[in-house]
Amino acid sequence: MDGPPRINIAVDGFSSCGKSTLAKQLAHQLGYTYIDSGAMYRAVALFVIENGLVHEGRLEREALLARLDDIRIHFEHDPDSGRSITLLNGRNVERQIRGMEVSRYVTLVSPVPEVRAKLVKLQQHMGEGRGVVMDGRDIGTVVFPDADVKLYMTARPEVRARRRFRELKARGVEVDYASVLENIERRDEDDTKRAADPLIKAPDAIEIDNSDLTEQEQFALAMEAVEKVLAGGVKRT
């Protein structure tokens, strides 16, 4: 085989922890593919909204299960922005899945074991050729339990809320800090307490608390872990 071995890198952690920033930096540096697994859960939430599968705030679970095979999710590279875009049944839904409505509904679909099983299978398929950096909640534990590098990102809730608050303000969204913090704490609870594939640190994951780190310092720590694995030879199945 030509070139250095390619590995899979799992980046897990709480919401607004800077996972995607780090995962994209790593993918860029290594010439790997970045995959945002959260976008896939968001696409399922959009399908649910668009197909009227939520009634008075409750998911029509059986109806969703009956239509699971109708949900096809792909990623494509957008040459204009240089970014990856999410496609739901062939349609670019990148903008819609980042909106507030999807953010609210995604926690209805992400705990459903059948949804998770479908998406995990798809994610595993995407990682078969290696050279993937995937971020999410269960990547190092469920999707790629044999990932060569696993990073588990944390930061104090107040630090994450401040970052998210600034981000939203910069986008012109009217919010107050207290509700951003409350939303982050609620999502932490949802992520860690759900029965199916909750967010937990894999025993072999490296924890990076970036509360007091710059982006550069965090990237350097992650690259150090990657280079150590690449230098030591990569386990092959």
Region near ligand DC per CB under 6 A, out of 24-32, 34-42, 55-63, 157-165: 34-42
Task: State the minimum distance, in angstroms, from the CB of residue 191 to ligand DC.
Answer: 6
3 state SS of 193: helix
Which residue, 94 or 191, has its beta carbon nearer to ligand DC? 191
Task: State the minimum distance, in angstroms, from the CB of residue 229 to ligand DC.
Answer: 22
Task: State the minimum distance, in angstroms, from the CB of residue 219 to ligand DC.
Answer: 19
Q: Are strands 73-78 and 83-88 parallel, antiparallel or unpaired?
A: antiparallel
**Chain-centre distance for alpha carbon 172:** 24
How far apart are alpha carbons 171 and 128 in whole angstroms? 37
Site map (CB under 6 A) of ligand DC, residues 45-84, x = contact:
----------------------------------------
Which residue, 162 or 194, has its beta carbon nearer to ligand DC? 194
Considering only residues 89 to 148 of the shown chain, the ones binding ligand DC according to CB under 6 A are 106-107, 110, 136-138
Task: State the minimum distance, in angstroms, from the CB of residue 49 to ligand DC.
Answer: 14
Number of neighbouring beta carbons within 10 Å of residue 131:
15
Give backbone dihedrals phi and psi of 198, rounded to 5 degrees, phi first: -70, 165
End-to-end CA separation in angstroms for the chain:
15
How far apart are alpha carbons 221 and 104 in whole angstroms? 33
Are 5 and 199 in contact by the 8 Å Cβ rule? The answer is: no
Which residue, 61 or 230, has its beta carbon nearer to ligand DC? 61
Task: State the minimum distance, in angstroms, from the CB of residue 106 to ligand DC.
Answer: 4
Length of the chain: 237
DSSP 78: E
Which residue, 7 or 134, has its beta carbon nearer to ligand DC? 134
How far apart are alpha carbons 106 and 55 in whole angstroms? 15
> Among 42, 150, 160, 164, which residue sits at the site for ligand DC (rule: CB under 6 A)?
42
Does 38 bind ligand DC (CB under 6 A)? Our answer is: yes
Task: State the minimum distance, in angstroms, from the CB of residue 138 to ligand DC.
Answer: 5
Does 160 bind ligand DC (CB under 6 A)? Our answer is: no
Task: State the minimum distance, in angstroms, from the CB of residue 202 to ligand DC.
Answer: 13
Give backbone dihedrals phi and psi of 218, rounded to 5 degrees, phi first: -65, -45
How far apart are alpha carbons 10 and 57 in whole angstroms? 33
Which residue, 138 or 148, has its beta carbon nearer to ligand DC? 138
DSSP 210: -
Binding site for ligand DC (CB under 6 A): 15, 37-38, 41-42, 106-107, 110, 136-138, 187, 191
